[in-house]
Structure 1
Amino acid sequence: MLLLTLESSCDETSAAVVRDGRQVLSNVVASQVDVHARYGGVVPELASRKHLEAVVPVVAEALDRAGVTLDRIEGLAVTRGPGLVGALLVGLSMAKSLAFALQRPLVGVHHMEGHILAPLLEQEIDFPYLALAVSGGHTHLYRVDGIGRYSTLGRTLDDAAGEAFDKVAKLLGLGYPGGAVMDRLAAQGNPRAFDFPRPLLKKDNLDFSFSGIKTALLYYVQGQTGPIEGQHLQDVAASFQAAVVEVLCAKTLRAAARTGLKRIVVAGGVACNRGLRQAMTAQAQAAGLQVTFPSPALCADNAAMLAVAGNAYLEQGVRAGLDLNARASWPLDQVEANTAA
């Protein structure tokens, strides 16, 4: 099946052409970073407008890069949620219009489902596995028993890890988005220079909390009499990142021990973080576990990642009607037949 997929859950407009849910022929992403950077975060209304401007050119470019014409597309998959409702509706409207005009089947896909299945675009991974989904809006641990079969094991009780990185970067005057900048600074700093807290680390559960680490850094910054820069800034970034990474790794390995799962997938935008990749890889190997990260292009929001689930659902006969609606909030373990409005 030749599938056209569309993603517009936040501030990236993306379209991809994927064959049989595995072979990526094109994956085009139009970023809005420059638009939102001046505000220090995503402005929903601006995001929706930019999606409207970008969605048609992005789809056209995806088809062109794949070397296919629209009439060759055999099915469509689109992010249904969770995300910003206005942003989601742009992708949904485009996908439903194409499905109607071409008379092709359509299916809605959960955004985080796309992320935790993204590694299957690059290699085969046997089910079941443990997935750490870590991004600007999500930090969850899932048991993945197959496509469409997910159980939530743990989640953040406040900020997502990526959200904490961005807020701290803004606090330090590093701009938005700040996760990548924090990662680069951390690579040059001493991760033991400052002892930031590790919230819930000693709690016998699989939930996360990152607001306490962020608040501790805020108090530290407020207590300084001069600017934080140079080696000082690098040490602060490294120490903050070390605290976040320690919690993510510890909770993930605890979940692996409790479930007996030997395979781990780490996905989402924060999966690009080099500190997380190095620590999780080393600790998983020491515990006799296999850990997989998608390539960086598949960690960030993109349309190709929707094809794994989208193709599988369409092959199973799942069809969404033209009344398919966006879902701003949508627990992954409550994914139901995509025919619901």
Structure 2
Amino acid sequence: MNKPIYILGIESSCDDTAAAVIFNSKILSNVVASQKIHEEYGGVVPELASRAHQQNIVPVVASALKKACVSKEQLSAVAYTRGPGLMGALLVGSSFAKSLAMGLDLPLIEVNHMQAHILAHFIEDDSQTKPDFPFLALTISGGHTQIVKVTDYFNMEIIGQTIDDAVGEAFDKSAKILGFPYPGGPLIDKYAQLGNPNAFSFTKPKVGDLDFSFSGLKTAILYFVQNNTKTNPNFIKENIADICASIQFTIVDYLMDKLKNAVKETGIKEVAIGGGVSANSGIRKALKKAETDFGWKTHIPNFDYCTDNAAMIAIVGELKYKQNDFSDINVASKARMTF
């Protein structure tokens, strides 16, 4: 009789300490400890993130095992985020994962954080659908904006990406300009649902057919707010919903333009999204609308698997475990990684 496969996933790439346990592609537990300390600084402070990970890693892993009703002796392997991410934060997760794997004499599995966002679609969950190969994945987060052609679980090719800033940063910086606390992206989404997306217009950046640029858009939004508040100090307060709706509409429309180009160039109409910004209501609605308008088959992840989480690390760990794709204990973490 085959021994049950239980994989512990550990994620620590940025400011969330997370652990999850998976069995037969089903998540038994998915624990995340967020770090509130960064709010007062308006962004993630790497050194503070590393220290918080050190405080959180043991209780988070213990909680994940307890919630899953799985003992550490039952584990089949330990999967962890190797990169990309903040180096100090990555080192906390990788050091813990390596120590645990060594202590329990278990296989160690390194995971690419961006691959995990894409492969989160393969978690067994009734609230989401699994894409068929090949498919296009739009990975959108605070640090990345990419269009990826996915031919198999671990056969991925980046066919388009941002040449400067990521879409998540564009949302958060726009929110900061409007006076929102960090992280402000979700607040823009909240107010956008109450406003008129055509109230104000912003020019979409012009770069290659499949590439993105957000630095110019951020500057345009800054000047727009500055110019209008000069003539009306209450401009933001009086127009907050319309401003947010217009910003969100511009960014989402820009993302969809690039996806349309990618579908046209590749002929692939199977489209999935992943990453923290995939929780945004605007992109989720636009993607669902594309099914009717363009005949796409779209895949939107469960909210629990959008932002940084260990469930996505665990599913990659399970897939790699089944292929006997294990890591050497000496593999170094990498702040920057590609597929």
Q: Say if 1:204 and 1:137 are closer, same or farther in 2 by CA, change over 3 A.
A: closer
Of 158, 163, 169, which residue of structure 2 is paired with 1:163?
A: 169
Tell me, yes or no, if structure 1 residue 269 matches structure 2 residue 272: no
Q: Distance in 2 between matches of 1:208 and 1:284?
A: 23
RMSD of the TM alignment (CA)?
Answer: 1.1
Q: Which moved more, 1:307-316 or 1:212-221?
A: 307-316
Measured after TM superposition, the shift of residue 227 of structure 1 is: 3.2
Aligned to 2:323: 316
Does structure 2 retain, via aligned residues, the 8 Å contact 1:17–1:63? yes
Q: Distance in 2 between matches of 1:243 and 1:274?
A: 14
Q: Distance in 2 between matches of 1:192 and 1:23?
A: 42
Aligned to 1:175: 181
Does structure 1 retain, via aligned residues, the 8 Å contact 2:10–2:314? no
Q: Which amino acid aligns with 2:333?
A: A
Aligned to 2:302: 295
Instruction: Output one character per residue of 1:5-36: Cα deviation in whole Å (capped at 9) or x when no partner.
Output: 0000000000000013x11000000001x200
Aligned to 2:81: 79
Tell me, yes or no, if structure 1 residue 31 matches structure 2 residue 34: yes
Q: Distance in 2 between matches of 1:309 and 1:68?
A: 19
Structural mapping, 1:200-219, within 5 Å: 200=206, 203=207, 205-219=209-223
Q: Distance in 2 between matches of 1:284 and 1:171?
A: 34
Listed as ranges, the gaps of 5+ residues in structure 2 are none
Aligned to 2:68: 66
Instruction: Output one character per residue of 1:263-321: Cα deviation in whole Å (capped at 9) or x when no partner.
Output: 10111111111111111211243111111110111101000101222112122122212
Q: Distance in 2 between matches of 1:307 and 1:31?
A: 19
Does structure 2 retain, via aligned residues, the 8 Å contact 1:189–1:231? no
SS at match of 2:319: helix
Measured after TM superposition, the shift of residue 124 of structure 1 is: 3.1
SS at match of 2:41: coil
Q: Which moved more, 1:281-290 or 1:81-90?
A: 281-290
Q: Which amino acid aligns with 1:94?
A: F
Structural mapping, 1:41-56, within 5 Å: 41-56=43-58
Of 11, 16, 27, which residue of structure 2 is paired with 1:12?
A: 16
Percent of pairs identical after alignment? 47
Q: Which amino acid aligns with 2:256?
A: C
Q: Which amino acid aligns with 2:209?
A: N
Structural mapping, 1:191-340, within 5 Å: 191-200=197-206, 203=207, 205-223=209-227, 224-225=229-230, 226-332=233-339
Does structure 2 retain, via aligned residues, the 8 Å contact 1:213–1:240? no
Of 124, 135, 142, which residue of structure 2 is paired with 1:136?
A: 142
SS at match of 1:250: helix
Listed as ranges, the gaps of 5+ residues in structure 1 are 333-341
SS at match of 1:38: helix
Q: Which amino acid aligns with 2:181?
A: G
